[in-house]
Amino acid sequence: MPHHDLVIIGSGSGNSILDPRFDGWDVAIVEHGVFGGTCLNVGCIPTKMYVYASDVAQTVREASTYGIDASIDKVRWPDIRDRVFSRIDPIAAGGRRYRATESPNVTLYEGHAAFTGEREIAVAPTDGAAATTITADRVVIAAGSRPTIPPAIAEAGVPFHTSDDVMRLDDLPQRMIIVGGGYIAAEFAHVFDALGVEVTVVTRGSALLRDQDELVSERFTALARGRFAVHTDAAPTAAEQRADGTIVLTCRDGGTIEGDVLLVATGRAPNGDRMDVSRTGLELTDDGRVPVDEYQRTPVEGIWALGDVSSPYQLKHVANHEAKVVQHNLLHPDAPRATSHRFVPSAVFSHPQVAAVGQREQDLRAAGTPYLVKVQAYGDVAFGWAMEDTSGFAKVLASPDGTLLGAHFMGPQASSLIQVLVQAMVFGQKAHEIAAGQYWIHPALPELIENALLGLAAPA
């Protein structure tokens, strides 16, 4: 039975733990999918490459606003797809090759990991060969998450796609049904709509992006309705495929929706439930996560966890942060470092972009927390005016003494603009200090932030 100093389950952020300081360790990496994890292969990176192409297409369509007549002659989907994966696939293959053949202290096991004891793991190879059982002094669970599928679709037997495979379609469909109302659905709705697909979004909720601040969700949903069909309060109750290949969804309201391709984007579930973690003595949380403390330690000695399998934040930058904490604590067990989840920013790369950090107004109101609020329109600052932006805004929330509590952006460059306020919150700067204590380049778009901070006023 092979024994290792360290076993890492998952080759995404878990793989980044290993640096030259581990060269003297006997390390095993277990991966049951494509090497490199979700972000590299089916998540953040390829999706944003598609988003950028779709942003270009959308810009062309809107060019007449600025007195420029332009049109799209053709969308070469195979070229868009191949541009993405001709870069992504070699990176994944190169990472695998490096760990498999060029890291002398690392053993790569390709297969599904399931615990058979406290720090004992059976790896069932992907090629169907007999399982290999390995043991370790330390184990890091970084096994990620997987798409969730509503039972009405899973049990219907109809063909469907998820974010794991929809980017590799052979051809663009004429009509696409997207089930879901969160960030994955919002991003893919933008991608395919901008590339000329007739998109219909179906969500069980009353609006899109319901996890965002209430104003963002309300206004984003209204804008989405202006681009493509949006059916809210319409959870699928049945699905079928006709003889001609058409997918037909029946929704809770009794209506039916037809499409050529069905994309399910209803969220992701942590993979801890597929690993028999109970055999280590661990019990998953109510929402299926591997429990960890502030040091990323599980309740079982010698087992750590990070990323989507354990974190309430399914975000790559959070997984990377947690990986650095685990790395330090493996190397320095007597001086452990804690994870900080105080101010975790997020972004939705749709059109328009959405970005958020800190608390939402509805949370502050429900908690009875005193707060100030300012909503600043893009179009009220010079660069936003130049862009002819009529829908974008920044919303800033602060305590009466100017301590920032939350920030929410919807509009161009939202994912970049919010970083100013992330930094301010992390380092404890007050709203008036940020607004008045530095120069703001005129007429650059960050004046949106300056004016929002200067305009903070008590809520009605």
**Catalytic residue positions, numbered:** 442
Beta bridge partners of 133: 122
Please state, in angstroms and rounded to a whole number, the distance separating the CA atoms of residues 142 and 303: 11
303 to each of 7, 128, 141, how far by Cα in Å? 10, 27, 7
Q: What CA–CA distance (Å, rounded) separates 29 from 324?
A: 17
**Residues 15, 36: Cα–Cα separation, whole Å:** 8
Cα separation, 452 vs 408, whole angstroms:
11
What six digits make up the tokens of 458? 């008590």
Give me the sheet containing 236-241, strands edge to edge. Answer: 236-241, 247-251, 256-259
Closest to 378 (Cα-Cα) out of 409, 345, 418, 419: 409
Q: What is the CA radius of gyration of the chain?
A: 24
Give DSSP secondary structure letters for 301-329. TTEEE-GGGT-S---HHHHHHHHHHHHHH
Q: How far apart are the first and last CA of the chain?
A: 67
Strand order in the sheet with 354-358: 346-348, 354-358, 404-410, 393-398, 372-377
